[in-house]
């Protein structure tokens, strides 16, 4: 490949990952904005997946046409279904529940620790040894989370902030489980098709959940809420999934992970501009601790970075 074309391709990939990471991270801010309307977490999530679902089906069918039928065993299809439920349905549900209680900035900081949870889960269940550098990275990461958490305690009730943090931690944990189970499936389906299918499965789970337990009266909302949730379902869900997937093809997963670390910082600033959330010196310090710890623990790994 011509050197100039290679540089151009890498720049295009970096820009795609950067935009995708910012759009993904902005989702927390949009979710908080939906809570200014009379609805709960399940209804907000329902609207998000309702507007995303047609585009997800279109992406999956387009990839099917381009790549050909997926040759998966019944067990592998069950794994895809299970990962869609765990990695996107449960992760998204916990995320939306948690955002009712904590700031968007703290949400993104806690969610960003999922690579550290992969390391811990691998140690507990796969007997993979934790190296000394990883121990230091874990300590640094969770110190950063504790610092950011302490700042939220100053502006919210301790019970609510703690409950919200637990929900977001569960979201990060389920997403970490999802990542651990995708290794053998992505090469067979392709990253974009796999993501679209997993998100479509999670959408169906959300629809069933809402049909059984949702508050139907909350579906009657001002037109501005429909526009906001359409934005969340497309610009904060479908588009960044495509951008990050295409960006990874051009720059690689390791470089994409580095670029994607802009997410937590962008959330802090977006939450400040649109929600009036305070950015303190300790918020910034906590965020940098988390970023550095996660980057250190992720360096050398070949993991795909895709958020709920």
Q: Is the pLDDT of residue 129 over 80?
A: yes
pTM: 0.90
Mean pLDDT, to the nearest integer, of 236-254? 82
Q: State the pLDDT at residue 254.
A: 67
Burial environment of residue 114 by CB neighbours within 10 A (0 to 12, 13 to 18, 19 or more):
buried
Q: Is the pLDDT of residue 253 over 70?
A: no
Q: State the pLDDT at residue 235.
A: 96
Segment 194-211, tens digit of pLDDT: 989 999 999 999 999 999
Mean pLDDT, to the nearest integer, of 25-47? 97
Q: Is the pLDDT of residue 73 over 70?
A: yes
Q: Is the pLDDT of residue 281 over 90?
A: no
Q: State the pLDDT at residue 166.
A: 97
Q: Is the pLDDT of residue 3 over 70?
A: no
């Amino acid at each position: 490949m011509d050197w100039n074309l290679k540089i151009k391709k890498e720049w295009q990939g970096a820009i795609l990952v950067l935009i995708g990471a910012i759009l993904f991270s902005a989702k927390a801010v949009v979710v908080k904005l939906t809570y200014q309307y009379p609805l709960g977490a399940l209804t907000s999530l329902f609207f998000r997946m309702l507007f995303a679902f047609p585009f997800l089906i279109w992406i999956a069918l387009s990839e099917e046409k381009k790549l050909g039928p997926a040759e998966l065993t019944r067990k592998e299809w069950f794994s895809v279904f299970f990962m869609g439920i765990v990695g996107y349905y449960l992760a998204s549900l916990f995320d939306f529940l948690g955002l009712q209680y904590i700031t968007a900035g703290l949400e993104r900081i806690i969610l960003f620790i999922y690579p550290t949870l992969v390391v811990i889960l691998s140690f507990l269940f796969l007997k993979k040894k934790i190296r000394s550098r990883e121990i230091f990275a874990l300590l640094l990461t969770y110190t950063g989370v504790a610092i950011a958490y302490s700042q939220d305690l100053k502006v919210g009730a301790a019970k609510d902030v703690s409950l919200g943090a637990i929900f977001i931690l569960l979201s990060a944990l389920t997403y970490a489980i999802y990542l651990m189970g995708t290794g053998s499936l992505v090469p067979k389906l392709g990253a974009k098709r796999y993501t679209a299918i997993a998100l479509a499965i999670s959408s169906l789970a959300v629809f069933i959940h809402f049909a059984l337990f949702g508050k139907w009266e909350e579906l009657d909302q001002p037109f501005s809420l429909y526009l906001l949730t359409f934005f969340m379902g497309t610009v904060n869900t479908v588009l960044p999934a495509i951008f990050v997937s295409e960006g990874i093809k051009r720059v690689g997963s390791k470089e994409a992970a580095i670029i994607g670390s802009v997410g937590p910082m962008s959330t802090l600033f977006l939450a400040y501009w649109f929600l009036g959330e305070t950015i303190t010196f300790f918020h910034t310090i906590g965020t940098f601790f988390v970023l550095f710890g996660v980057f250190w623990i992720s360096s050398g790994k070949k993991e795909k970075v895709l958020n709920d």
